[in-house]
Structure 1
């Protein structure tokens, strides 16, 4: 099991004290990624580590590699709600992304995107279909870079665990945080895959209800954009992982199943 290195009550109190601050600072920068400031760079990772540890989840104190940092930045787009009017869900997503809240609490409902899409003022129904198509296309364009980034992280994690478990120069105390980081990385990849699937469901729900409410030829463009997004999402959700969550998607047989996993994100 992943050992807890600090008292649970103390960790929970520290994480809880920062939750409101981080929620208030959950702003976005370029490309929808978290803004690079003291909140996203220092406070959020520390509070997330304390909160995850307090919940008994795998949490590593290791510094992030460049690819791990980039993976978390790229994940931001997909774990956030599909429309900026979903303010509450955006705050929940930001806290889950920082691991202050468990990912299971960030659920949402598929009608939310449609409600946000039709809740504002638009010149015509064409603009609603155009926004839907633009959102689906933007997701599609960003999935490829995320997948490539994820593949680099998974490859590095295989090297990490091979060195941690076989090198006589690695202290035993390094093994748990190394495995915890692998769990964190793989958990994030699986979460993004889940959220991409949820986005596709939300887009399809929105399209169907738009067609019922205000039929338009623009629906064809939106439908094609969603289909293209589905095609791009397929390889992401089928990429070989180490398999630390006990699934059948691991790379080498048996890898990742050597230790019980406590991370639930």
Structure 2
């Protein structure tokens, strides 16, 4: 059996990522810093994104920009338990080596992962669902505050670019590209939050069909609370680099 070049590339990159950065985890659940994650992946991601025609800035990240990318990691990774391969795909998308379109959009992934794990009772599956939704909810606020600081500084950045004659031409395009990257990350997090919510709801209704339990009420409340917390983030005013009304990009731009 032969594989297409695209599939071979995907398998190779995933294998490199698995071997290079997933043995241990650091803060926020991310892989610990390695030569791959700190040097090779960012450089490869920059050139991969550029080759796809996406906005890419060579500027160094500010502390807030770097922290925002760290906090985004939780939301852009798959929520599904045991999704090792999809986790690596998302990891490569986070570094921009792969486009966001490579991620799974199957809302059944989470349910399949949840039911593939051995639990003592059906209540444990509902509890896991509620715990995952609550963990997401608690991390949205810090990400939103982080994103608000980045957007505020991006406004200062663009006003300076437009008003100051001391900013050379070769710095103007990378400045704009960084703003696009930052806003694109917020959009991407919102898209994946929406995907998580739909995945959690899909899992809940199918759990109720297969193994009804009073624990479903707790899980449903956790999902509703997550939705309420996500709304302010995904409605926060941005600069609008993606057009009128901040239209969501098709692919991740940063």
**TM-score, structure 2 as length reference:** 0.89
Cα separation, partners in 2 of 1:194 and 1:222, compared to 1, 3 Å: same
Could you list the per-position Cα deviations for residues 46-65 of structure 1 after superposition, in whole angstroms to 9, with x for gaps in the alignment?
11101011111110000000
Task: Tell me what 1:199 maps to.
Answer: 196
> What number of residue pairs does the alignment pair up?
240
Note the alpha carbon deviations across 1:127-169, whole angstroms, 9 max, x for none: 1000000000000000010011000001111111111121111
* Aligned positions of 1:6-85 closer than 5 A: 20-27=15-22, 28-85=25-82
1:198, 1:50 → 2: CA distance? 28
* TM-score after normalising by structure 1: 0.86
C-alpha spacing 1:50/1:44, structure 2 compared with 1 (3 Å): same
Q: Which residue of the other structure, out of 226, 229, 245, is the alignment partner of 1:229?
A: 226
**Which of 186, 189, 195 is 2:186 aligned to?**
189
> SS at 2:92's partner residue?
helix
2:168 aligned to 149, 168, 171, which one? 171
CA distance in 2 between partners of 1:60 and 1:238 (Å): 26
Are positions 1:138 and 2:135 aligned together? yes
1:118 aligns with 2:115: yes
From the superposition, tell whether residues 69 and 21 of structure 1 become closer, same or farther in structure 2 (CA, over 3 Å). Answer: same
CA RMSD of aligned residues (A): 2.0
In structure 1, C-alpha distance between the alignment counterparts of 2:252 and 2:217, rounded to whole Å: 39
Does the 8 Å contact 1:133/1:222 carry over to 2? Answer: yes
Unmatched runs of 5 consecutive residues or more in structure 1: 1-15, 251-260
Distance 1:41 1:84, change over 3 A: farther
Structure 2 unaligned regions, length at least 5: 1-10
117-126 vs 24-33, greater mean Cα deviation: 24-33
Task: Give yes or no for contact 1:58–1:180 (8 Å, CA) kept in 2.
Answer: yes
